[in-house]
Amino acid sequence: MYPPLIPATLVRAADGTPYSPAFDDVYHTTAGGLGQAQHVFLAGNDLPARWQGRERFTIVETGFGLGLSFLATWAAWRDDPARCARLHFVSTEKHPFQADDLAELHAAWPELAPLADALRRHWPPLVPGFHRIHLDAGRVTLTLLFGDALTTLPQLEARADAFYLDGFSPANNPELWSPAVYAELARLAAPGATLATWSVTGHVRRGLQEAGFTLERRAGFGGKREMLSGHFTEGPSETGQLSPRHALVIGAGVAGTSIAERLATRGWRITVIDEAPGPGHGASGNKAGVFRPLPSLDDNRLARITRAGFLYGRHHLEALAAAGYPPRWAPCGVLHLARDAKQEGKQKAVVDTQTPPTDYLRFVDKDEASQIVGWPVELGGWWFPSGGWIQPPTLCAANLAAAGSAVETRFGQQVARLEHQGDAWIALDPAGAEIARAPVAILANGVGIRALPQAATLPVRPARGQVSHLPAAAGSPPNVVVCRLGYVSPEVDGLRCAGATFLADDDGTELREAEHRENLTKLDFILPGYAAAYDPTQLDGRVGFRPASPDRLPMVGAIPTVERTERTTPLTDIPRQPGLFAVSGFGARGLVWASLIGELLASQLDGDPLPLERELVDALDPARYLLKPPRPSAGSEE
């Protein structure tokens, strides 16, 4: 569990330089923050020359501060006609500024205004963890690690070409200039990585040298006579283009289309295969699905992954709309009511303990909850003002449209078998005819993954879910999504969705009156008396089948080739199917996870910094089930 973030406070020294009372130090030299960033960090790492002609260049910074080094780097990259195709910038920050404070601070550098404005438009809420932001049409990726660097850096998986060692002075912030941090830099360093810092303190030099960096003194900036530059002593830099990349994606739901779109942005070719006539026809075919995170008092893995998925998903929805491919969704807010007084107390304790920003999450009592809903409710609960509903088929279509010509679709084709021949995976139809082939295959076909022998090691269980469609007048309450051991959506096209049932290992496709009654019972539990207007014998609805996992977390990664192994085996030592990956086990939370999971797998396949902590990536690894006894799959948790 991360401790709550404590935002930075905007204070200025007597000469107007931004100052941190917590560390009793200024954020940059009085000679100028932009000049310092350009002289120390860019020139100190021999940039822009070192990124020129590269497919990808990755920079890791210790201490984001005002974001000046990032903005200076982004500006230099933009101005360089020989720039690398994609720039990754990863930065830690223990005390991030609020966006409004950044706006005031950035006003001192009007030449950076367009970039600074774009950064602040995408600035994440101040909650701990990893935050990935795509800028400049996806060519620049900023990954912010909010929290103590001693906690976040060990969780980073990346290959850094350059390091910016920033932060407050070693005397005032010794933890950031420590052997533990230097060891992490060495772990992250790509062959030939360089570093630069304004500090020439003796223990900093000795610590970096002991970690494997060769150092040299260079002329400092402003009033500082010297600075340090250095390089990692193992091998030459990696240069040149990556090999051609092509993947089969089996399944065109939110999982499959998300990974296809994320790979397409990296220059991959993708062949998407689905037996349906178009995208979003299976478990992703509902009219309106819930989009919100799921906190916990101990900030467990499920809570952290849904938080990361929700925040990245919001960013992805906005990026699709900005590119001209808007999915149909509404950030109307989601109210998650407590099921009883005990849970209401726990929900309030989560907010009191973790102190999240109010535009992300706050606790509301019974009276305020009733006002939000426009209907009397029994208890209070969590209010997510930026949550909402998404129409999944439109998200699937938007993903494919955004991917453009990089994606070739093969709809109406059933993959009956997969065969591995040479360096290729071949998808075959029921008659044995080849549909398509590629070096990489990704199984994102929901419960259909169970029919392929290569995925037999994965404990995917189908869970039947029936949603009831309730006739609704425009503007009728609720105008927000409301959850309480079930959910009800606002009116969408004259209907609101209510449900859903969750029946494991039930393959019936028919609508059932009994399940309509169950959904109306849930509806009455959410909004007392609301269901009385509906006759369960007259309702329409939809049945889908969700791929559920035993621990309620998705399965993302290379598929194991073995069915059992010693429980002490490291995940990295478990043998895998070459080039065969799974994206499954989303259960009822596909909309919250799909975009981030697509970004995670695309990052793994292409060698980018990962957008999630290493321990969370391990928690999603399909091979994890070989290292622990299986447990029954939990039921739907709204």
> Domain with 263 in it: what CATH number?
3.50.50.60
CA distance 229 to 163: 10
What 8-state DSSP symbol labels residue 40?
Answer: I
H-run or E-run covering 106 = helix 99-106
CA distance 149 to 303: 21
Residue 359 has pLDDT above 80, yes or no: yes
Are 17 and 109 in a shared domain? Answer: yes
Residue 72 has pLDDT above 90, yes or no: yes
Q: Does some domain include residue 584?
A: yes
Strands 334-337, 381-384: parallel, antiparallel or unpaired by DSSP?
A: antiparallel
CA distance 304 to 592: 12
Strands 289-291, 495-499: parallel, antiparallel or unpaired by DSSP?
A: unpaired
pTM over 0.85: yes
Among 232, 259, 274, residue at a domain's last position: 232
Are 453 and 591 in a shared domain? Answer: yes
Q: Does some domain include residue 239?
A: no
420-423: which pairs have CB atoms within 8 A and are 24 or more residues apart? 420/577, 420/578, 420/579, 420/580, 423/579
Least confident of 152-156, 234-238, 262-266, 351-355: 234-238
The structural domain count of the chain equals 3
Q: Report residue 196 as tokens.
A: 């630069």
Mean pLDDT calculated for residue range 438-450: 96
Are 149 and 195 in a shared domain? Answer: yes
Chain segment 1-60, per-residue pLDDT in tens: 688 899 999 888 888 888 788 887 787 766 578 999 999 999 999 999 999 999 999 999
Q: Does some domain include residue 303?
A: no
- Mean pLDDT, all residues of the chain: 94
Q: What integer pLDDT is reported at residue 373 of this predicted model?
A: 98
- Where do runs of H (alpha helix) occur along 282-422? 301-322, 341-354, 366-373, 392-403
Q: Does some domain include residue 274?
A: yes
Mean pLDDT calculated for residue range 266-277: 97
Q: Do 509 and 543 form a contact (C-beta atoms < 8 A)? A: yes
Are 158 and 191 in a shared domain? Answer: yes
Q: What integer pLDDT is reported at residue 170 of this predicted model?
A: 87
How many residues are recorded in the chain?
638
CA distance 594 to 256: 9
Q: Does some domain include residue 308?
A: no
Q: Does some domain include residue 636?
A: no
Residue 126 has pLDDT above 90, yes or no: yes
Are 475 and 594 in a shared domain? Answer: no
Residue 250 has pLDDT above 90, yes or no: yes
Q: What integer pLDDT is reported at residue 30 of this predicted model?
A: 63
Domain span at residue 362? 289-298+316-390+461-548
Are 508 and 522 in a shared domain? Answer: yes
Are 60 and 147 in a shared domain? Answer: yes
CA angle, 620 then 410 then 590, to 5°: 30
Residue 323 has pLDDT above 80, yes or no: yes
At 557, the pLDDT band (50, 70, 90 cuts) reads very high
Are 363 and 440 in a shared domain? Answer: no
Q: What is the DSSP string of 409-466?
A: EEET----EEEEETTEEEEE-TTS-EEEEESEEEE--GGGGGGSGGGTTS--EEEEEE
Residue 577: CB atoms within 10 Å:
19
At 149, the pLDDT band (50, 70, 90 cuts) reads very high
Helix, strand, coil proportions of the chain in percent (round to 5)?
35, 25, 40
Are 121 and 269 in a shared domain? Answer: no
Mean pLDDT calculated for residue range 300-315: 97
Among 548, 568, 594, residue at a domain's last position: 548
Burial class (CB in 10 A: 0-12, 13-18, 19+), 412: exposed
Chain segment 403-441, per-residue pLDDT in tens: 999 999 999 999 999 999 999 999 999 999 999 999 999
Mean pLDDT calculated for residue range 171-186: 93
At 633, the pLDDT band (50, 70, 90 cuts) reads very low
The label of the residue with tokens 């199917």 reads 577
Are 612 and 558 in a shared domain? Answer: yes
Q: Do 399 and 261 form a contact (C-beta atoms < 8 A)? A: yes
Q: Does some domain include residue 382?
A: yes
CA distance 58 to 80: 16
What 8-state DSSP symbol labels residue 39?
Answer: I
CA distance 52 to 49: 5
Among 505, 528, 548, residue at a domain's last position: 548
Q: What integer pLDDT is reported at residue 279 of this predicted model?
A: 96
Are 270 and 332 in a shared domain? Answer: no
CA distance 232 to 214: 6
Are 347 and 208 in a shared domain? Answer: no
At 243, the pLDDT band (50, 70, 90 cuts) reads low
Domain CATH number, residue 61: 3.40.50.150
Domain CATH number, residue 497: 3.30.9.10
Q: Does some domain include residue 1?
A: no
